[in-house]
Amino acid sequence: MKKKIITISIIIIAAVGLLIGLNYFLSLRDITFKLSTDVSEITIYKKANFENKKNPIKISSNQTIRLQTGDYIIVPSGEKIASNQINLTITKNAEVEINPNYSANYLNSLYAEAKTSIYQILVAKYPDIINNYSLQTGQLFIKGEWFGGLLVNIKSDRDSIKDCFKFIAHKENNVWQIVNYPDLILSQNVYKTVPAEIINTVNNFIAEN
Amino acid sequence: MEINTLKNNKFVRLFIIVFVIILVFIVTYSIYQMSYRAGKIQIVINTVPTDAKITLNDDEYKNGENYIVAGEYKIIVQKDGFKTIEISQDIIKPGDEVDIALEAESDSAKDWASKNPQAYSNFANIVDKKTNKDGAAFRTLNPIVNKLPYTNYLFSIGYKLDSSDKTDNSIIITINASEQYRQAAILQVKQWGYNLADYNYEFINFDNPFKI
């Protein structure tokens, strides 16, 4: 009788173990991570383990790994990039491109050179009026290929608030170009190719007195 | 007993024949309707008087639901004694309604109109309901219109329909302010909590020097 109970218990435990193993095996998916050249490493956490930084998986080159379905948080690292966390939900085999924006610090280091180039473009494009304006505020976005700026009228007769023109420049093949033309407000409908986050930031630029 | 059975058989046979005829009729009618409506859109035409002659590009239609191919039409609604209404180059698209009330001109038509005020009030109700429904949808798409027009001592903000949008659901915000107060008007839109980029703008009495 005792033997029977032990045998049945073993069978039940083995069956449960088999089911758990099978469930784990069936929940695995092939995830191919493709890291942009400026990403030196990514650290992958299960969402539940992120706070305690438990069981991290580190990847430093393009590779395919098997992960269970579920929610994950990826933290990229690299000299130039922002290490903002990236949320990932795995439901099926997938290819995940890790291509984070440059960090604010790195974008700031590129700013002065970009501003000079863009001002030269503005001078060439608007030679008759550009001297009336000062490129007062500017910011680089994403990978430094987008620039938003604020031109403030410095020659107006009025002492009080003057017109401020916002504009966006885009670098393609290493050449800066002004998108559309500077305007008082940038509408998404007009700047369809420009990411919304850039337009919204530029629209909020305020002239300094 | 035998007579009863025979009678019953006859009744069943008759029932089956009638049933089959009705079924054939329904199937034929459905096929006809489907082929007639294929590639067409449903539009509702409301007219007063309801028996007015309605022609769309010379084809006659009836008051109520109609099926037509979406496109550009010349609409004529006429009835003896009433002023003919003619709308040329009207683009009809899915969900459109054509609402036309004819104005009585002859004495007999005026007499009819005075004796049938209900026909005109029913028509007005239909148009009102439609306008309210469209208005609610328009306001949902353009919530800023709930704040407009807005005027203070420094500037005014209004809106107009964007003619480049054929659905009539897009607007252009119009801002009338001197250079000194244009930024204040822009700030007002922001302070209402709207995203500036969501709308198109027209600044009155303003020439953008960068727009070459």
* CA distance linking residue A66 with residue A68, whole number of Å: 7
| B26, containing H or E segment | helix B2-37
Q: Is B195 in Cβ contact with A200 (below 8 Å)? A: yes
Nearest to B186 among A185, A199, A200 (CB): A185
Beta strands across the sheet bearing B97-101: B64-68, B41-48, B97-101
Distance from CA of A104 to the nearest CA of B (A): 24
Any domain includes B98: yes
Q: How many helices (H) and strands (E) does chain A have?
A: 3, 11
Q: Helix axis angle, B107-115 relative to B117-141, nearest 10°?
A: 70
Q: Could you tell me which of B119, B159, B163, B166 has the C-alpha nearest to residue B139?
A: B159
Res B5 pLDDT > 80? no
B131 and B67 share a domain? yes
Of all residues in chain B, what percent carry a pLDDT higher than 70? Answer: 90
Q: Are B85 and B60 in contact (CB under 8 A)?
A: no
**DSSP symbols for B80-144:** TTB--EEEEEEEE-TT-EEEEEPPB-SHHHHHHHHH-HHHHHHHHHHHHHHHHHHHHHHHHH-GG
Any domain includes B28: yes
Per-residue tokens: A175: 């050449």
Between the two ends of chain B, the Cα-to-Cα distance in Å is: 102
Q: Name, in order, each residue with C-beta under 8 angstroms of A92's C-beta and a sequence gap of 6 or more.
A: A29
B169 and B188 share a domain? yes
B31 and B52 share a domain? no
B45 and B25 share a domain? no
How many separate domains does chain B show? Answer: 3
B7 and B86 share a domain? no
Residues A129-163: pLDDT tens digits?
898 888 888 999 999 999 999 998 887 665 666 78
Residues B91-134: pLDDT tens digits?
677 767 788 888 888 888 888 887 787 777 777 777 767 666 66
pLDDT value of residue B205: 83
Q: Is B200 in Cβ contact with A187 (below 8 Å)? A: yes
Q: Is B197 in Cβ contact with A185 (below 8 Å)? A: yes
Lowest mean pLDDT segment, chosen from A103-117, A155-169, A186-200, B11-25: A155-169
| Domain interval for residue B19 | 1-38
How large is the C-alpha radius of gyration of chain B? Answer: 28
Q: Is B179 in Cβ contact with A162 (below 8 Å)? A: yes
Q: Are A193 and A177 in contact (CB under 8 A)?
A: no
B119 and B70 share a domain? yes
B68 and B137 share a domain? yes
B32 and B47 share a domain? no
pLDDT value of residue A143: 92
B104 and B175 share a domain? no
**What's the pTM value of the predicted model, to 2 decimals?**
0.62
Nearest to B183 among A164, A181, A182 (CB): A164
* CA distance linking residue B176 with residue B147, whole number of Å: 16
Nearest to B196 among A167, A185, A207 (CB): A185
Residue B85: phi and psi, rounded to 5, are -105, 130
How large is the C-alpha radius of gyration of chain A? Answer: 27
B3 and B70 share a domain? no
User: Residue B170: closest CA among chain A residues belongs to which residue?
Assistant: A189
Any domain includes B210: no
Residues facing residue B75 across a β-bridge: B56, B87
User: How many other β-carbons are positioned within 10 Å of the β-carbon of residue B123?
Assistant: 18
Per-residue tokens: B152: 């203070």
Any domain includes B157: yes
**What's the complex ipTM?**
0.73
pLDDT value of residue A49: 87
